[in-house]
Amino acid sequence: MPLIKDGKIAQDPWIEAAPDAALPDVDALLVPYAVWHEHRETLMKRNGRLGVRLAADQPPQLIAGDLDRLDLVALEFPTFRDGRAYSYARLLRERYGYKKELRAVGNVLRDQFLFMHRCGFDAYAVADENLAAEWSRALAEISVVYQPSTDRRRPISSLRRRTPAGPGAAPAPKSGEIVSSWAY
């Protein structure tokens, strides 16, 4: 499956272990949470890079104590209607301070790139390699945002300021007069 990082197709060094197979001896190993839970001690002793894939019903609290050891957290989108991974991404970035690769996997759609990016994702496993060309356009489609997020874009509420009251301020409106107190 193609991987988009930094707006282009990237080589994916990660090998994903099957839930019921032997753990391969590779430099970058991605394991499902069930494997992580069962073989945690063995996996923690590895010299290579380590990642965990969380299903939509597995919150990041399950791995919160081990995030400093993980080089990749992959969050699964089972369908486009299931948005739990958005919340999990924000928790990982904002509450737990996770700074390494956060990857969207599963049903990753072009129309959701901007929202995934705003929640903290920085890598995307996509079904169609042609989506890389759409990446930049998807991020630029919406120029005004309403909520603060991990991408540091300022929401519109922080761009509009009330005009100050005090010396030089406009006089108070007369009764029944409609006046905007917002400066744009």
Domains present along the chain, CATH in parentheses: 3-143 (3.20.20.70)
pLDDT at position 183: 43
Residue corresponding to tokens 């080589």: 11
Mean pLDDT, range 130-140, rounded to an integer: 68
Letter for the amino acid at 125?
A
Alpha carbon distance 105, 27 (integer Å): 20
pTM > 0.85: no
Asked if 72 and 92 touch (Cβ cutoff 8 Å), the reply is no
Three-state SS for 77? strand
* One-letter identity of residue 1: M
Q: Model confidence over 5-48: pLDDT tens digits?
A: 877 788 999 999 988 878 888 999 999 999 999 999 999 998 89
Please spell the DSSP secondary structure of 131-174, one letter per residue: HHHHHHHHHHS----SS--TT-PPPHHHH-EEPPPSTTPPPPPP
